[in-house]
Structure 1
Amino acid sequence: MHIDDARLLTRRELLAHGFDDSEIRGRRRRGELCLVRRGAYSRPGALSDRPEARHAVEVRAAVGQVSPDAVVSHLSAAVLHGLPVWGDPLRRVQMTRARRSGARLTGNLHVHAAPLEPGEIVTVGGLAVTSLPRTLVDVARQVGFEQAVVVADAALWRRSVTREELDLALATARGRPGVPAARRALAFARWGSESVGESRSRVAMMHAGIPEPVLQWEVWSTAGVLLGRADFGWPGLRTFGEFDGREKYGRLVPSGTTARDVVYAEKRREDAMRGEDLGAVRWGWSDLDPFAPTAARLRRTFRP
């Protein structure tokens, strides 16, 4: 067995292939093995710097150390479902056992005890994971409003879950702690926020008293030509808004073009939209907290 061939190695696997504990310790000292969690290792450089990617590896390492009936849940399940997690350090792997009691909390593991219906368990990458509707409800019961909206918006944007499925999951969870908060967050979630920044912007607008925008607003010319699509639109106020995150331009760079080409095309799009007598406001990550100056710019730009 060559260590460099594996992404995640357990102590049991290493021992089975002829390594002993002293050699494992030696390889760790020399930097040839990295500790993922107790009894699980990876080769150097195998773990991504992205928190979600690293957490997914930690989840796989933890599964073999917990009771076989434990199901990956909450934020850990959201990570395995491929959803973005904002505002949480992901220090603990979270799992759920279908029991009335027996919850366990340690520095890097949280095992919940709660009812689990067979239809609420799916398989993701070979692991038992709570279904997406159940996961979103559990997350929204546990984390803050803004964090819950970010995760739910992403699921709705990808059309991975329906509003009806969320309503059913909420009804099934009735009586559990945090359900009223989950109901508020999931009711606010919308299709149309394609990034964490856009979801956080919607929450900031709500707190600032800004009218609810149309998401992914299509702007057409008087001649019936589609000029572009804005992240946020207020048709009755003749204004559109754009959240500028770095990833926005990175994912829009097609083969054979440069980021400069994309920025230039973006400017031409905005100029064409402004030409329809529309006001425009742009903001970025640094403008989200505090959002008050951006909210003031929006109010000044609105054209009743």
Structure 2
Amino acid sequence: MTEPTFDRSELLLRRDAVMTGRTDGELSRLVRAGGLVRLRRGAYVDQLLPPDAAAVHRLLVHATVAGLRREAVVSHQSAAVLHGLPLWDVPLDRVHVTRQPPAWNDRSAVLRCHVARLRDDEVTTIDGLHVTDPVRTALDLSRSLPHEAAVVMLDSALHRGQVDHAELRVRLFDIAGVPGSRSAARAVAAADGRSESVGESRSRVVLHRWKLAPSTLQFDVRSKDGALIGRSDFAWEEHRLLGEFDGKVKYRRLLKPGQEPGDAVFEEKRREDAMRDENWNVVRWVWSDLRRPDRLAARVRRARDRDR
């Protein structure tokens, strides 16, 4: 997967505008008239800000790094955005950079500066910016994010082939002993590239937490003659139980050319009936169930124990 490209013409820095003869008063009038949108102090775009938070943050990264007086490497969630690594429940209000020691940690309204040693092979270049590579970025986030958000990020990166599980495990040794290294090791151990959505990743974290870990993911259900009936998000094979996380994204993904959403839902119902005909029980849950993990765990446990 290639990183999104950045069009520098989208961004106008005050310093560049002043050099071409514009004044602060003119910039202010353009903002009031809607000709410019203020991204942050001293940085503007000549269009509406994109609705996607990651796209806005990408602009913010370029605007902020351009104003730094000392060299820094874009890192953490800012590096994740530049690499196109998917994030869930991760704040994007500040640009994150890393400097080599003996620098110092720094924080402002728009900047968070970390201090850490970076090898040359841990730094790459995107759109002219020095950026931590995908593996170092994933490990830095695994150290600093809550466990659930870290697993979601790692699952997605693994699923998309942006990082490799074996390399993640090897490079954990590079951060051994630093703050958060144990959290990173825990997240890497829990990550699984077979998860296909944020909802599936969050569900797996909940199920593990409540000691209801499925025996496998993306389980192929077959008829007695070996024909493929369908695939289930989760399976507890010993208990003949299948688990399905239902999100709107899933049904959009199942749509065939010319189909309406209702058609995909109907086909999903037929698929579930066929699985039940093969003596599989099915338990389903949705986004709102993830807000009450105790209830979700109780429902899965009841379904799992029905065969006893």
| Fold agreement, TM-score > 0.5 | yes
CA drift at 1:119: 0.5
Superposed, 1:1-304 pairs within 5 Å as 6-45=9-48, 47-67=49-69, 69-302=71-304, 303=307
Change (3 A) 1:125 1:234: farther
How many matched pairs?
A: 299
Change (3 A) 1:271 1:68: farther
Q: Deviations over 1:227-256 (max 9, x none)?
A: 111111111111111111222222333432
Rounded Cα–Cα distance in structure 1 between residues aligned with 2:294 and 2:221:
27
* Contact 1:100 1:115 (C-alpha < 8 Å) held by counterparts: no
Change (3 A) 1:67 1:252: farther
Rounded Cα–Cα distance in structure 2 between residues aligned with 1:226 and 1:167:
34
Rounded Cα–Cα distance in structure 2 between residues aligned with 1:119 and 1:197:
33
* Contact 2:159 2:194 (C-alpha < 8 Å) held by counterparts: yes
CA drift at 1:67: 4.3
SS of the residue 2:118 aligns to? coil
SS of the residue 2:161 aligns to? coil
Q: Which amino acid aligns with 1:34?
A: V
Q: Deviations over 1:97-148 (max 9, x none)?
A: 1223322111221011110101101123432211111111110111111111
* Contact 2:123 2:132 (C-alpha < 8 Å) held by counterparts: yes
Query: How large is the Cα RMSD of the aligned pairs?
Result: 1.8
Change (3 A) 1:27 1:234: same
Rounded Cα–Cα distance in structure 2 between residues aligned with 1:117 and 1:300:
51
SS of the residue 1:202 aligns to? helix
Rounded Cα–Cα distance in structure 2 between residues aligned with 1:68 and 1:231:
48
Rounded Cα–Cα distance in structure 1 between residues aligned with 2:69 and 2:265:
52
* Contact 1:73 1:95 (C-alpha < 8 Å) held by counterparts: yes
Q: Percent identity?
A: 44
Rounded Cα–Cα distance in structure 2 between residues aligned with 1:251 and 1:89:
27
Change (3 A) 1:262 1:127: farther
Q: Deviations over 1:66-109 (max 9, x none)?
A: 24631111111112221222222311110111223322111221
Rounded Cα–Cα distance in structure 1 between residues aligned with 2:128 and 2:226:
50
Rounded Cα–Cα distance in structure 2 between residues aligned with 1:213 and 1:42:
50
Change (3 A) 1:243 1:125: farther
Gaps in structure 2 of 5+ consecutive residues? 1-7
Provide TM-score, normalisation by structure 1.
Answer: 0.92
CA drift at 1:197: 1.0
